[in-house]
A and B are shown apart, each in its own frame.
Chain A
Amino acid sequence: MASVEMKNIVKKYGDGFPAVNDISLDIADGEFMILVGPSGCGKSTLLRMVVGLEDITSGDMIIAGQRVNDKAPRERNLSMVFQNYALYPHLSVFENIAFPLRLAKTPEAEVREKVNAAADVLELHEHLERKPANLSGGQRQRVAMGRAIVRDADVFLFDEPLSNLDAKLRGQMRTEIARLQRRLGITTIYVTHDQTEAMTLGDRVCVLRKGVIQQVASPRELYEQPVNLFVAGFIGSPPMNFLPAKLRNGTLSTPFGEITLDPKRSADIGDRDLVLVGIRPEFFEDASLVEGDKKQHGSTFRAKVDVTEWLGDSQFAYIPYDAPDEVVEQLKDLSRELDSDQLRTQAIVSIDSTSRIRSGREAEFWLDARKVHVFDPATGENLTRDPDAGAELTRIAAEEREEEIAEARESGLTVEG
């Protein structure tokens, strides 16, 4: 168990391109930290620098109070789960899990005991004598985790461990990893490009873009108080809608009618000719289903629905809108950067599953104005971010987390499996 501190970490490749640029990040003992970002943002490189598979160009990597920049991977006492598992195909599952112990020359009896304990946790008992080639994807994944937990490592590192599993298994393993980490209470760094994993697993999430940290915060803060367009667009599924708007006297004129901002927020921004309004899909609703007194918090507008998707518990509607060329261009760049490819300017709105709104018809929608964010289209900066509210969310998350860990450690002795 240990904390990890990164101070001004830089990674430059031979051609001088900084894959990781001046990253400073403190990860507390027992914390579950997620590094997230689209492909090529430097998250895997950063993880590999922590474990020592990649040289650090400049900056300090401090694990458990010791600078490890010049230490070989084996001297750092970390364990890592690779994206493709990297199991040893010539060894049985038992020997795969026992491999780190064998290297450490652990006595046979202790090896048996520890491997069996790990196999208990991961339910691998009946597979111990099999070779990795005969296992399913999920089982291989568990063997890789077994190899990581069998040793008393200071920090667990995960490099996109679930990206090779199918969707259903991914969900199960996600829960499994969360439970395991809570139980063991070991500092964990987890790299993913999947924002669902980031939201559900992390105590704190570090969003990276082109080798630079955008925001480090609890998932809730990222969701409710994103620092810029990039974070806002990356976190949340379906993603936040960005509508072009003109701001005059606290009133935003958007393609979906006028939205009135509360006085405090509009005062912060002042008048602008062009801003982007970030509205999460769930801020919309079918106007006919909104109760009377709630309605006053937002505005209503009429729009033609392109497509609806009914999912049983929820329903999405796609509403196309027109936007100035410069905004269209910028939104396209953003969506490309976020690894998605939005072809048309359309808003995705989440409406109640009982709504009778259907494709191809015009319908009336209600828009909750209280939580919308306003972004500067040039810099991407969030003009309406409330840092205090955000910090409060992260503080609450940290508190809850501490309670959870304390509870887990207390009851850890009696919990089985």
Chain B
Amino acid sequence: MSAKERNWWIVAGIVIVLYALFPIAWIVSLSFKAPADVANGQFLPSVFTWENYSQILTGDAAALFLPALRNSFGICLIATFLACILSMFAAYAIARLDFRGKKLILSTALAVAIFPVISIVTPLFNLWRLIGLYDTWPGLIIPYLSLTLPLSIWTMSAFFREIPWEMEQAAQVDGATSWQAFRKVIVPLAAPGVFTTAILAFFLAWNDFVYGISLTSTSAARPVPAALGLFSGASQFEDPTGATAAAAVVVTIPVIILVLIFQRRIVSGLTNGAVKG
């Protein structure tokens, strides 16, 4: 790559990063503005204030926000965990075994993934009320699985396909049962794939709004995105913009931390050296 070409790439990269990060910067800046300052017409607040943060963490909105934060964490982590475990087995079977209906499973998973959430939320609402899942954690975990599983199965089976068959056969010849071969050889090798899948699944669940707002009514199970929509201003003539922005910043932080932690685990080329290189 010539120096000129490289400069172009750098410039283009900066432009894209700015473009992508600008809304986030704006949210951050908004979260530091006092209510009267929100419409000041400039990017930076005239006076930096922690008022919004104290409002959502200890003030009026805390009763709404803190349980929602707890719900979101609990529900999303459980949904992610279940999705990973289930899709690991499903993907292994899809990648390794020959059975009838394999294509059907994959295409059904894809169909589920592209199915519009909004169209099933009403029937689900009625059903959940009927069987007592409305406004409970399982009542959200189950639909979240339907969001995360298809994607997890697809990504994970792609990862499993990359693992050479011989690894498993070698383990079997070395004296492993199929389960031991899976646990001691395949799973460690698939770990980067599992972490990637976990992050994607977590985001999907974490960012959901439609299920969250429709299938909950109290802070027993309401997740953060739904709670944000219910913030109210100091008076009914005032938008809770600052508080919402502060809450948005707070919920973004765990996601960023999660990515930073798992990023190390998503090392490409872990399988280097397994087979001829």
Residues in A lying within 8 Å of B, measured CB to CB: 51-53, 72-74, 78-80, 82-90, 99-100, 103-104, 131-135, 137, 140, 147, 151, 164
User: 9 closest A-B pairs (Cβ-Cβ)?
Assistant: A133-B273, A132-B273, A84-B275, A86-B166, A86-B170, A100-B174, A133-B272, A89-B274, A164-B276
Report whether A89 and B180 are in contact in the complex, using a CB–CB cutoff of 8 Å: no
If A53-B169, A84-B275, A89-B189 touch, whether A147 touches B174 (CB-CB below 8 Å) is: yes
Complex formed: what's the CA distance from A99 to B180 in Å? Answer: 11
Nearest residue in B to A75 (C-beta to C-beta)? B175
Report whether A74 and B276 are in contact in the complex, using a CB–CB cutoff of 8 Å: no
User: Which residues of chain B in 150-172 are interfacial with respect to chain A, using CB atoms and an 8 Å cutoff?
Assistant: 164, 166-167, 169-172
The answer to whether B217 has its CB under 8 Å from any CB of chain A is no
With a CB–CB cut-off of 8 A, which chain B residues contact A85? 274-276
The answer to whether B177 has its CB under 8 Å from any CB of chain A is yes
Report whether B169 and A87 are in contact in the complex, using a CB–CB cutoff of 8 Å: no
User: Which of B167, B171, B174 gathers most chain A CB within 10 Å?
Assistant: B174
What is the distance, in angstroms, from A44's C-beta to the closest C-beta of chain B? 12
If A74-B177, A103-B180 touch, whether A86 touches B172 (CB-CB below 8 Å) is: no
Complex formed: what's the CA distance from A87 to B188 in Å? Answer: 13
With a CB–CB cut-off of 8 A, which chain A residues contact B277? 133, 137
Q: Which residue of A53, A87, A133, A137 contacts B173 across the interface (Cβ within 8 Å)?
A: A53
The 28 listed contacts between A and B (C-beta, < 8 Å) are A52-B172, A53-B169, A72-B172, A73-B169, A74-B173, A80-B170, A80-B173, A82-B166, A84-B166, A85-B275, A86-B166, A86-B167, A87-B274, A87-B275, A88-B185, A89-B272, A89-B274, A99-B174, A103-B174, A103-B175, A103-B176, A132-B273, A133-B269, A135-B273, A137-B277, A147-B170, A147-B174, A151-B175
Complex formed: what's the CA distance from A20 to B194 in Å? Answer: 40
**Scoring B residues 257 to 277 as 1 if CB is less than 8 Å from chain A, else 0, what string do you get?**
000000000000111111111
User: Which of A73, A140, A147 gathers most chain B CB within 10 Å?
Assistant: A73
With a CB–CB cut-off of 8 A, which chain A residues contact B170? 80, 82, 86, 88, 147
Report whether A132 and B274 are in contact in the complex, using a CB–CB cutoff of 8 Å: yes
Report whether A82 and B169 are in contact in the complex, using a CB–CB cutoff of 8 Å: yes
With a CB–CB cut-off of 8 A, which chain A residues contact B176? 74, 103
Report whether A140 and B177 are in contact in the complex, using a CB–CB cutoff of 8 Å: no
With a CB–CB cut-off of 8 A, which chain A residues contact B269? 133
If A51-B173, A53-B169, A82-B169 touch, whether A89 touches B276 (CB-CB below 8 Å) is: no
If A89-B273, A89-B274 touch, whether A104 touches B166 (CB-CB below 8 Å) is: no
Complex formed: what's the CA distance from A103 to B189 in Å? Answer: 18
User: Which of B172, B173, B185 gathers most chain A CB within 10 Å?
Assistant: B173
Nearest residue in B to A51 (C-beta to C-beta)? B173
User: Which of A85, A135, A151 gathers most chain B CB within 10 Å?
Assistant: A85
Nearest residue in A to B178 (C-beta to C-beta)? A72
Report whether A89 and B166 are in contact in the complex, using a CB–CB cutoff of 8 Å: no
With a CB–CB cut-off of 8 A, which chain B residues contact A78? 173
Complex formed: what's the CA distance from A53 to B269 in Å? Answer: 27
Report whether A86 and B273 are in contact in the complex, using a CB–CB cutoff of 8 Å: no
What is the distance, in angstroms, from A82's C-beta to the closest C-beta of chain B? 5
If A82-B169, A103-B180 touch, whether A140 touches B175 (CB-CB below 8 Å) is: no
Complex formed: what's the CA distance from A72 to B164 in Å? Answer: 20
Complex formed: what's the CA distance from A86 to B189 in Å? Answer: 12
Complex formed: what's the CA distance from A80 to B191 in Å? Answer: 26
Q: Which residue of B166, B173, B185, B274 contacts A73 across the interface (Cβ within 8 Å)?
A: B173
Q: Which residue of B175, B191, B273, B274 contacts A74 across the interface (Cβ within 8 Å)?
A: B175
With a CB–CB cut-off of 8 A, which chain B residues contact A73? 169, 172-173
With a CB–CB cut-off of 8 A, which chain B residues contact A84? 164, 166, 274-276
With a CB–CB cut-off of 8 A, which chain A residues contact B172? 52-53, 72-74
What is the distance, in angstroms, from A129's C-beta to the closest C-beta of chain B? 14
Complex formed: what's the CA distance from A99 to B269 in Å? Answer: 22
Q: Which residue of B164, B166, B171, B276 contacts A99 across the interface (Cβ within 8 Å)?
A: B171
If A86-B166, A88-B185, A103-B180 touch, whether A79 touches B276 (CB-CB below 8 Å) is: no
With a CB–CB cut-off of 8 A, which chain A residues contact B185? 88
Q: A79-B173, A82-B166, A132-B273 are known contacts; what are 12 more A-B pairs with Cβ within 8 Å?
A: A52-B172, A73-B169, A83-B166, A84-B164, A88-B189, A90-B189, A100-B174, A132-B274, A133-B269, A133-B273, A133-B277, A140-B276
What is the distance, in angstroms, from B248's C-beta to the closest C-beta of chain A? 39
With a CB–CB cut-off of 8 A, which chain B residues contact A151? 174-175
Complex formed: what's the CA distance from A164 to B276 in Å? Answer: 7
What is the distance, in angstroms, from A317's C-beta to the closest C-beta of chain B? 37
Complex formed: what's the CA distance from A99 to B171 in Å? Answer: 8
Report whether B166 and A90 are in contact in the complex, using a CB–CB cutoff of 8 Å: no
User: Which of B170, B171, B270 gathers most chain A CB within 10 Å?
Assistant: B170
Nearest residue in B to A87 (C-beta to C-beta)? B274
User: Which of A87, A88, A134 gathers most chain B CB within 10 Å?
Assistant: A88
Complex formed: what's the CA distance from A73 to B181 in Å? Answer: 12
User: Which of B166, B177, B188 gathers most chain A CB within 10 Å?
Assistant: B166
Nearest residue in A to B187 (C-beta to C-beta)? A90
What is the distance, in angstroms, from B225's C-beta to the closest C-beta of chain A? 38
With a CB–CB cut-off of 8 A, which chain A residues contact B272? 89, 133
Complex formed: what's the CA distance from A152 to B245 in Å? Answer: 67
Q: Which residue of B167, B173, B175, B276 contacts A88 across the interface (Cβ within 8 Å)?
A: B167
Complex formed: what's the CA distance from A31 to B148 in Å? Answer: 56
Nearest residue in A to B163 (C-beta to C-beta)? A89
Complex formed: what's the CA distance from A79 to B170 in Å? Answer: 9
Complex formed: what's the CA distance from A134 to B188 in Å? Answer: 18
What is the distance, in angstroms, from B97's C-beta to the closest C-beta of chain A? 15
With a CB–CB cut-off of 8 A, which chain B residues contact A132? 273-274
What is the distance, in angstroms, from A285's C-beta to the closest C-beta of chain B? 42
Complex formed: what's the CA distance from A100 to B185 in Å? Answer: 12
